[in-house]
Chains A and B, each alone.
Chain A
Amino acid sequence: EAQVTQNPRYLITVTGKKLTVTCSQNMNHEYMSWYRQDPGLGLRQIYYSMNVEVTDKGDVPEGYKVSRKEKRNFPLILESPSPNQTSLYFCASSFDTAISTDTQYFGPGTRLTVL
């Protein structure tokens, strides 16, 4: 089954404790992206990757890192989480770049709470 998986689905952590949210897709997609969703702000892009070893900042990259060592995985790293990073995070992938008509597949979301 074609899918994007994220882990964990729920995480409560404390300020400053490094964490990683994993994202994996099994569709051989080149394009992967991370978004955060906040009430009243909609979806905002954090980072995206056009291909292996190619990553670019989205609209709200501060406080986050990503890596794309393999095509299928695109982890989101919070080196020193802060409460303002409490949010719902979505990973997405598509075969080609975001501007194509190819469906962008979204993961189920990771709800992160930073105390």
Chain B
Amino acid sequence: GEDVEQSLFLSVREGDSSVINCTYTDSSSTYLYWYKQEPGAGLQLLTYIFSNMDMKQDQRLTVLLNKKDKHLSLRIADTQTGDSAIYFCAESRSDKIIFGKGTRLHILP
């Protein structure tokens, strides 16, 4: 298909790790991105990974890329209430960025 796919909802207990998964379609995508959208706000670039990398870590965030399966994941360690948001996976395709539908992360107390 043409879409970037991700599950729509994820619930995680505060303090646990959150793992948000995404599959993309274009094997020639140069960059893959994770954006965060907090309630009532625009999108904010969280992190990105270049297509020749397998993993990227940035503080509590770990991005894993499996090019063979076209699978991207975002792991948030020690999930906090401030992590409650919608997370968008996106891939670069020609001159565009194609977004997934977003995963709403809900934090349980």
Contacts and interface: CB of A to CB of B under 8 A. Distances in A.
A103 B100 contact: no
A45 B99 CA distance: 9
B95 A98 contact: yes
Contacts of B40: 109
By secondary structure, the B interface counts as strand
Interface residues of B, number: 22
A50 B99 contact: no
A90 interface: yes
Nearest to A103: B45
Interface of A: 4, 35, 40-45, 48, 50, 56, 58-59, 90, 92, 97-101, 103-104, 106-109
Interface of B: 8, 30-31, 40-45, 48, 50, 88, 92, 94-102
